[in-house]
A = this chain, B = another copy of it.
Amino acid sequence: MFTVTAKLPGENNRDYSYRVIKEAIMALELKPGQTISEIELAEALQLSRTPIREVLAKLREEHLVEVIPQVGTYVSKIKPKLIEEATFVRITLEKEILKLSCESFPKEKLLQLKGNVAQQELLIGQQGMERKFHQLDKDFHYIIFSGNNKENAWDAINRLSTHYNRMRLLSEMEHSFNEAINQHKMFIEIIENHQAEKVEGIIRQHIIEPIKLWEDLYKENSPYKDFFDHTYKMPVF
């Protein structure tokens, strides 16, 4: 049904199944709109329904599944409205965080940023490294927030970005991530040289770029058409 990785040490069954199921949804292995029953999941993970139910409750909070009582559970289709709101929140908060970083930023975190980008560059030209790159990308932005002591703010963004990130995966499967890496380098430059005036432009670009072509994925003749919830109007960027 989906990739079941090994249970990590110190992980209880709930945390374990949360990790595995969420990864499957975010990697589009469990497809938007697909039916998933509690029993199916429990059997796939060799567990009882109890921990699975608690995981589904959590995923429902993140808009990743929808539960209809006595009927079934579905993977949420990608909703344009949630993409738009995530975009708004990310741009607004990340702009402010980057400006703060221009005033002061811990040296140690700056080193972490550089190390992270170095790892990103190692992936250039390789195939099938999308998931690895996405993890590094998320780490990169988390480091910036953490350098400003705003870890929970990043968590809030992350929870709201589930639909944005799934769409981004679709749109990047056919594109390279060179551009994103260059932008990350510019982030570091801006922080190091205190160029707060450059923040506005680069942030907007960095966040909107990956989803600019999303109309192609959304429209009638796209193979991914059914992944989207068409009951919501498509916002314009």
Contacts and interface: CB of A to CB of B under 8 A. Distances in A.
Given A53-B54, A54-B54, A156-B160, A150 B88 contact: yes
How many copies of this chain does the complex contain? 2
Contact of A93 (B54, B69, B84, B93): B93
Contacts of A85: 149-153
Nearest to A86: B152
A22 interface: no
B156 A89 contact: yes
Contact of A12 (B53, B69, B153): B69
Interface in A119-173: 149-153, 156-157, 159-160
**Interface size bracket, A side:** 20 to 34
Given A58-B57, A156-B156, A160-B156, A89 B93 contact: yes
Interface in A2-61: 12, 14, 50, 53-54, 57-58, 61
A160 B61 CA distance: 14
Contacts of A57: 14, 54, 57-58
A12 B67 CA distance: 13
A96 interface: yes
Nearest to A54: B57
A160 B153 contact: yes
A110 interface: no
Nearest to A60: B58
A81 interface: yes
A11 to B, nearest CB: 12
Contacts of A196: none
A81 B160 contact: no
Interface string A88-128: 11001100100000000000000000000000000000000
Contacts of A151: 85
A92 to B, nearest CB: 5
Given A58-B58, A88-B153, A156-B159, 18 more contacts: A12-B69, A14-B57, A50-B50, A54-B54, A54-B57, A57-B57, A58-B61, A61-B61, A81-B149, A82-B152, A85-B149, A85-B151, A85-B152, A89-B153, A89-B156, A92-B93, A93-B93, A152-B160
